[in-house]
Amino acid sequence: MSPPSPNNVGALVKPNGRLGSKKSKTGCLTCKARKVKCDEAKPVCKRCVAADRVCQGYDDVFVSTQISSAEYARNRINGLLGLQTPPRTPSPVHGDARALQYYRVKVANILGGAVDTEFWTTSVLQLSEAEPAIQQALFAVSDLWEVQETQDFHDSSYAQRRHFERYSKALTATAERVAQPRADTVALATCVLFLCLHCLRGDKEETHKLLQTGAAVMQKVLRELYEPSATTQNEAAKIFLPIFERMLVLLRLFGQRLPHFRSPDTILYNNISANFSQFEDLDEARGALYWLVAESHELIVKTRLYRFSPDVNDLDEPTVQECFQKQGVQLAAYAAWLEAFDHLCTTSRFASGMDDYYKANLLLTHTVTVAWLSTCMDRDEGAWNKHTNSFRIAVREAEKIVSRDKGNTPMFTFEMGVIPPLYLTVLKCRDPYLRWQAISILERAPAREGLWSRTEALRVCRRVVQLESGTGQMIPGGIRFQGGSIVDARTLVTTEQGTRVTFAAKLNGHQELWREWDELIPLEEDVGQAIQYSLQHQ
């Protein structure tokens, strides 16, 4: 990341006039350690900010910095929290000021990925100004990020200890605040921040539990929003509903079953044209798309038994017909969405100022999901061959997104980006050139997107290509894969030893029955080396 210009940090610092050559014994801890002059600006010094260093603060207590000077923003947040007289969070000591600056300089612009910067750079900072519980959760995110980023340095153990202390403090503050009236927004904001923490740790189980808690609060907010007595739009629903719906998609991709926040009967199946005919902006298009993706994934999971079972009658006929009907309705909705999206991007009054990376992200998600949905009722894996052009579009759009970082690959983004669609592209596309293009782009993706690990995805993708090309090892029983074999990765489990994967394969063509086996792909070994196997036959 390039260092922020001093012109852009005026809101963070306030010079105190000590810019001459006279040495100071009261400078910030970072400048003291480096034995350089400090301008003594508080809460963080300009010199550290301009050099993209983390100012470790001073030995004294700082005056709280003002996060948002815009009166309309302050009133908006106070209304959201239900406050008549806005409270001020306690003046932060130097550790808090340092965590705040680290978050702003190092973290905020990265967390949202290519499309979701406003929440992380603006909304959550404004909320934290008025609520200590949100502020402590934000500091916990900042500290954990530093732990991850400095894990090879000598001070990482100190940063890790500080993070756990901060995390405990944030949990306590949140528990006390949500026990009070008008706490829905605080509960939702801290839930998102704690979700971010667990995703950064790669903790799928805790993320699932926490999302269930947040979902219950979100559903309560939505019920109040649609009550006849409601006169204004609930601001909490506007800010947090899209985030929770995208997290719902993330957890479903890992096999977790969570209910949808909104009824499909009222939104999709009865009124496609009204809900997918026109979008005001990319945010509205994104919300509609991820709602569709959540619905589609539920159908895809439901049809797995029909697709993969040896007996086509394992799913009763009425259920099969219902699934076919839902598939048709959803595909029509995706077509309507794409038409409205194209209109928004080409002819609307906002078209010229739109973010190309945002558009690429939405088109990538749409393209791959439609291909997945289109094949979910087809027992012949050859059906994926019809979607080679879709994979070509996916590779093109993913390249646009990763090129945005210009070699500065992010360590983590809270939102899903290119990893899931590229992973599916490698597993299902039969064009070898497109597959290796997808793997090449995947190598430049963020290290983690939500719960998705780039390293894990790459291991599985390379192993699948290796097996299908006939260059991989034999599995137990002396069975060797031939070129033209079809391999699928069913489940992934991360362990201390590596990635345990349940693979399935049709060894001799599309009409073969699926064979399943488990492999442990070690953390440090190449997938071509010896791997533990246990073969299971369907």
Residue 115 located in a structural domain: yes
Sign, CA torsion 151/154/158/159? negative
Task: Determine what percent of the chain is predicted with pLDDT higher than 90.
Answer: 23
pLDDT for 155 equals 52
Domain with 517 in it: 470-538
Which tokens is 63 given?
Answer: 């005056």
Tell me the pLDDT tens digit for each residue of 91-134: 445 578 888 999 999 899 889 876 777 889 888 999 998 899 99
Structure pTM? 0.76
Which tops the pLDDT comparison, 483 or 254?
A: 254
Q: Provide the 10 A C-beta neighbour count for residue 163.
A: 22
Q: So what's the pLDDT on residue 7?
A: 39
- 273 by DSSP, 3-state: which? helix
**Average pLDDT of the chain to the nearest whole number:** 75
**What gap in Å lies between CA 238 and CA 233, rounded to an integer?**
8
- pLDDT surpasses 60 at 494: yes
H or E stretch at 518: strand 515-522
Q: Is the pLDDT of residue 535 over 80?
A: no
Residue 167 included in any domain: yes
Q: Which two tokens stand for residue 468?
A: 């299908």
Helix 184-201 with 132-149: angle, nearest 10 deg = 10
Domain membership flag for residue 141: yes
Q: Which residue has the higher pLDDT, 317 or 263?
A: 317
154 versus 468: the higher-pLDDT residue is 468
Q: What is the pLDDT of residues 388-408, one digit of tens each?
A: 999 999 999 999 999 887 778
Rounded CA-CA distance 225/220 in Å is 9
Give, in order, the Cα–Cα distances in Å from 416 to each of 35, 211, 427. Answer: 42, 16, 18
CA-closest candidate to residue 425, choices 467, 377, 457: 457
Residue 442 or 160, more confident: 442
| pLDDT tier for residue 239 given thresholds of 50, 70 and 90 | confident
Query: Of 211, 245, 279, which closes a domain?
Result: 245
Domains: count for the chain: 2
Looking at per-residue pLDDT, the higher value among 305 and 410 belongs to 410
Residue 195 lies in a domain: yes
- Whether residue 295 lies inside any domain: the answer is no
> 247 CB contacts (<8 Å, ≥6 apart)?
195, 207, 211, 214, 450
Phi and psi angles of residue 453, each rounded to the nearest 5 degrees, phi first: -100, 125
The residue among 235, 229, 218 whose CA lies nearest residue 79 is 235
How many CB atoms lie under 10 A from the CB of residue 168?
A: 12
pLDDT single digits (tens) 37-95: 888 776 567 777 666 666 666 653 333 333 333 343 444 444 444 443 344 444 445 57
Of residues 53, 44, 138, 52, the one with CA closest to residue 97: 44
How many CB atoms lie under 10 A from the CB of residue 116? 21
Q: Are strands 486-494 and 412-413 parallel, antiparallel or unpaired?
A: unpaired
Task: State the residue for tokens 């900072």.
Answer: 125
pLDDT at 386: 94
pLDDT exceeds cutoff 80 at 483: no
Residue 102 · residue 58 · CB < 8 Å = no
Give the pLDDT confidence score for residue 264 in this predicted structure: 46
Higher pLDDT, 9 or 308: 308
Q: Given this model, what pLDDT does residue 269 score? A: 45
**How large is the average pLDDT for residues 294-316?**
77
Q: How many residues in the chain? A: 538
Neighbours of 265 (CB within 10 A): 9
The whole-angstrom distance between residue 338's C-alpha and the CA centroid of its chain comes to: 23
Reduced to 3 states, what is the DSSP secondary structure of residue 469?
coil
Instruction: Quote the Cα angle for 21-101-445, to 5°.
Output: 120
What is the spatial distance between Cα 454 and Cα 197, in angstroms, rounded to a whole number? 18
Is the pLDDT at 166 greater than 90? The verdict is no
pLDDT computed for residue 283 by the predictor:
86
The 10s digit of each residue's pLDDT in 455-471 is 999 999 998 888 887 66
For range 500-514, the mean pLDDT: 76
Residue 158 pLDDT > 90, yes or no? Answer: no
Confidence of residue 475 (pLDDT cuts 50, 70, 90): low
Sheet of strand 532-537, all strands in order from the earlier edge strand to the far edge: 486-494, 498-506, 515-522, 532-537
Domain final position from 220, 245, 270 = 245
pLDDT score recorded for residue 120: 92
- In this structure, of 93-107, 132-146, 415-429, 524-538, the range with the lowest mean pLDDT score is 524-538
The answer as to whether 441 is a domain residue is: no
Among 216, 245, 274, identify where a domain stops. 245
Whether residue 251 lies inside any domain: the answer is: no
> What span, in angstroms and rounded, lies between the C-alpha atoms of 367 and 376?
15
Q: What is the band of 484 on the pLDDT scale with cuts at 50, 70, 90?
A: low
Question: Does position 378 have pLDDT exceeding 60, yes or no?
Answer: yes
pLDDT at 174 over 70: yes
pLDDT of res. 499: 83
Name the pLDDT band for 156 (thresholds 50, 70, 90).
Answer: low
> How much is the pLDDT for 75?
45
**What's the pLDDT at 402?**
92
Q: How confident is the model at residue 351 (pLDDT cuts 50, 70, 90)?
A: low
